Amino acid sequence: MREHSINSYLITCCILAYGAGSLYGAATYYVSPSGSDKASGTSSKTAWKTINRVNQAKFVPGDSILFQGGATFAGRIYLDQNSAGTAAQPITISSYASGRAIIAAPANSGSIYIYNTAGIRISNLTVTGNLNSTNRPDGIMFYNDLPNDTKLSFVQISDVEASGFRGQGISIGAWNGKSGFADVRITGVSVHDNIMTGINVWGPDDASRPGYAHRNIYIGYSKAYNNSGLANYSTHSGSGIVVGDTDGGTVERSVAYSNGSQNTTWAGPYGIWGYDVNNFVIQYNESFGNKTQGGADGGGFDLDGGAMNSIMQYNYSHDNDGPG
């Protein structure tokens, strides 16, 4: 009789543990204004309430974090090395129910910051910033400063709107040797009314070290517009889409327009361009109405310094301050 009771107890414990979510496998977590941070988060009826609760959790491959569509959530989502997905089982940040959730950045901060980790998919969200920030936060930022030229693989951003940031709308960045990101895909996004850039892929651009920070970057079917640039800034600002320090990349079937209106530096912005790139293609895009108050650039398309083995084809450039 005692043995039977112990076995029943063990079976019950196993069932309860498995139901706890990511301890034993992937889970879906819900966030709703009507939720509670003391709840389990594993159904829309037991949803968490705040971004702060999300930031306290650790996520495993295949987990999803879903915010209620149409609702606004104040704060910055932050994931680091404690939460990493894979290409086969990414960690997903998205919306549920009807419409997109809005991630409203706090003052002087971005909406989503992914630090030294990858295997992340972000989709079906609106991220908004505050142009009165005293610094230059980015809307969605992936950043890698790991040692040993580490490439973090698999980043997907799709069906996202990013606006109102003094920095970049979307930023894929690195700053330690040739560490960076690989297999990045940005599609169907709208980045507008930011200050520094719409979409920016960047790295140290260190000529003393061979190679590139990033590999296999794809940007397609996206819009970058009204990204104004910053007056009296030390270098160019106000581009639509920029890719740098990258080996293997494509920007296609996208539109960049009305960017760069406040840039005053001698090195101006472009609608769509690349620098320090290898095997980079710009094709089937339209770039128009881009501006500069500086003495150069302000054009439609550009393959700039350090571009090698790269192609610009089948694009339409018109009505820019600078060259096509």
Close Cβ partners of 45 (under 8 Å, ≥ 6 residues apart) = none
Query: Residue ranges of the domains in the chain?
Result: 136-324
| Per-residue pLDDT, 209 | 76
Residue 2 has pLDDT above 70, yes or no: no
- Report yes or no: 243 and 213 within 8 Å, Cβ to Cβ: no
Residue 6 has pLDDT above 50, yes or no: no
Mean pLDDT calculated for residue range 201-221: 92
pLDDT-based confidence at residue 206 (cuts at 50, 70, 90): confident
Mean pLDDT calculated for residue range 38-61: 98
Q: Does pTM surpass 0.85?
A: yes
- Report yes or no: 186 and 140 within 8 Å, Cβ to Cβ: no
- Report yes or no: 274 and 282 within 8 Å, Cβ to Cβ: yes
Mean pLDDT calculated for residue range 263-268: 90
Mean pLDDT calculated for residue range 255-259: 98
- Report yes or no: 202 and 245 within 8 Å, Cβ to Cβ: yes
Q: Among 127-136, 191-200, 283-292, name the one with the lowest average pLDDT.
A: 127-136
CA pair distance 161, 253, nearest whole angstrom: 17
* pLDDT tens digit sequence for 153-164: 999 999 999 999
Mean pLDDT calculated for residue range 297-306: 96
* pLDDT tens digit sequence for 100-151: 999 999 999 999 999 999 999 999 999 999 998 889 999 999 999 999 999 9
- Give exposure, 300-317, as e/b (b: 16+ Cβ within 10 Å): bbbbbebbeeeebeebeb
| Per-residue pLDDT, 85 | 98
